[in-house]
Amino acid sequence: MAAMTLHRTGYFHFPLCLLAFPTDYKDRLQYIVSYCLCEHAQRLSRTSATALWHTAICETGKFLHVNIGSYVTTTERWQVATEYVRDWESRYGKDATVRISTSLLWEERNNTGLTYREFSILCAINSVIGKRRSVPRRITEPTIRARAGGFKSWKVANCELARDESRKEQLLTPSQVRYTLERLHERRFFARARVGAKTVKYMLGVSDDALRTLLLQTETYRPRFKAERAQKDRELMTAIRSANKRTFRPDQESQK
């Protein structure tokens, strides 16, 4: 599978568990690309009764900027990956999904930018943020460590690692996660800010300053709301007492 067209950017969507696919990471990326291509091609073929499978894959390749070397191999990889996902979700339920720029995957595969470690950590962060990209999300380093290995939770990770001790190699160490997060943050792949001793929030597509401005609003909203509500309640009670006094005095005068 050749390199993508570089002047545009598409996105790959795939289940997080494919980051745990038991093979060399280079081959793992090939399975991910094949899965994304064929899943999208399958949606195309469902919407057009006359669309041939190869035509659908070809159209998807153009959409995702991928030159397909072999339709047969691509389809076979997709079938293997699909079976892997189906088996995984039968054990652990619906998996988290990753939405990642095609350019980032090809940077890693072609050794022109990201390392696989960096790519997997970005996938981990994206899988937590999901579609709610306008909302800062709390993400812990242990969560990133598990998800970079393809596990949506530590419960899933512990189950899988108990099945195969050798797969511990695919989990990054805490220090590797911290170091890589610093590098990616410096390169502005995401914004993050600490709002508590154990709480760091992440957001995509904004600067750190923009994130802090947003957090200043969202993180102080509840106490501000409570204070404003209390003030309005006090004003209401004062107004009620004042109104009651005004209506009571005429009655007193009439009784005299």
> Where are the chain's structural domains?
1-114
DSSP SS3 for 66 = coil
Q: pLDDT value at position 116? A: 92
pLDDT of residue 248: 61
**What would the pLDDT profile of 113-166 be if each residue is shown by its tens digit?**
789 999 999 999 999 998 877 789 999 999 999 999 999 999 999 998 876 666
Residues of the chain scoring pLDDT < 70 = 1-9, 46-51, 111, 163-168, 221, 248-256
Burial letters for 82-108: b for 16+ Cβ neighbours within 10 Å, e otherwise? bebbeebeeebeebbebbbebbbbbbb
Contact 68, 78 (CB under 8 A): no
Asked whether 82 and 65 are in contact (CB, 8 A), the reply is no
Kindly give the residue spans of alpha helices, DSSP state H, lying in the chain. Answer: 25-47, 53-64, 71-92, 102-109, 116-129, 141-148, 154-163, 174-186, 208-218, 221-255
Residue 221's pLDDT is 64
Using the CB atoms, write b or e for 127-159: b if 16+ within 10 Å: bbbeeeeeebbebeeebbbbbbbbbbeeebbee
Query: What integer pLDDT is reported at residue 246 of this predicted model?
Result: 79
Asked if 84 and 17 count as a contact pair (C-beta separation under 8 A), the reply is yes
First to last CA, the chain: 101
254, two tokens: 């009439």
Residue with tokens 């397909």: 68
Q: How far is CA 31 from CA 39, 44, 226, in A?
A: 12, 20, 52
Q: What is the largest CA-CA distance in the chain?
A: 104
So what's the pLDDT on residue 240? 84
Residue 7 confidence (pLDDT): 35
Bridge partners (DSSP) of residue 97 are 15
User: Collapsing DSSP states into helix, strand and coil, what is residue 150?
Assistant: coil
pLDDT for res 145: 96
